[in-house]
A and B are shown apart, each in its own frame.
Chain A
Amino acid sequence: GDSVTQMEGPVTLSEEACLTINCTYTATGYPSLFWYVQYPGEGLQLLLKATKADDKGSNKGFEATYRKETTSFHLEKGSVQVSDSAVYFCALLNTGGFKTIFGAGTRLFVKA
């Protein structure tokens, strides 16, 4: 079945450091790919998405490129801030339907 694998955390970075959170997926067909972010005590928010191969999603300085050849959707940011501290979830929604599949989440701590 469909699945998403993302790097285990926690990831601890200093402010202004570069961030990469790896995400790979297994799916039949041509899924849409997403990154969601969860701040402490809150629900998830959509951070960015890509719906087809080679699409790049971007938002708030974060980027991720849909790589079909490597079945990956790595999240990157060139300079993180303390306010980026949160849990990040990679997810896919297959073309069939209704069920979004999530990775286990990666907790990011950014220190001042």
Chain B
Amino acid sequence: SQTIHQWPATLVQPVGSPLSLECTVEGTSNPNLYWYRQAAGRGLQLLFYSVGIGQISSEVPQNLSASRPQDRQFILSSKKLLLSDSGFYLCAWSTRDRGGPLHFGNGTRLTVT
């Protein structure tokens, strides 16, 4: 069966520090991969998605970036965090089938202080 791992579960970082969140998927090949952010009490905002190794589409211009160095690995990064980067970050995958649902990791709660 397919599983998705996302870490760390919680993170407290000072303003201006770098960020690296990692997500890996097991049990499937060539998945579509996604990073979403959920601000407190609000819906989900799509940040990045990837349909293949090295292919990244950005939905929101900001100081975050994403990379996909391997087929089932997706990394969210920042060189310098802002207070507004605080939130709940969710990685997700889907199959290449049209209309396929998303499968989410358990999320990373990031607090920038």
Contacts and interface: CB of A to CB of B under 8 A. Distances in A.
Main secondary structure of the interface of B (DSSP, over half): strand
Contact of A89 (B43, B57, B105): B43
A46 B102 contact: yes
A51 B99 contact: yes
Given A89-B43, A99-B59, A104-B43, A43 B101 contact: no
Interface in A29-85: 32, 34, 36, 41-46, 49, 51
A95 B98 contact: yes
Given A46-B101, A46-B102, A100-B46, 9 more contacts: A43-B90, A43-B107, A45-B104, A89-B43, A93-B100, A95-B99, A98-B32, A98-B51, A102-B44
15 contacts: A42-B107, A43-B92, A44-B102, A45-B104, A46-B102, A46-B103, A89-B44, A93-B99, A93-B100, A95-B98, A95-B99, A99-B46, A99-B49, A100-B102, A103-B43
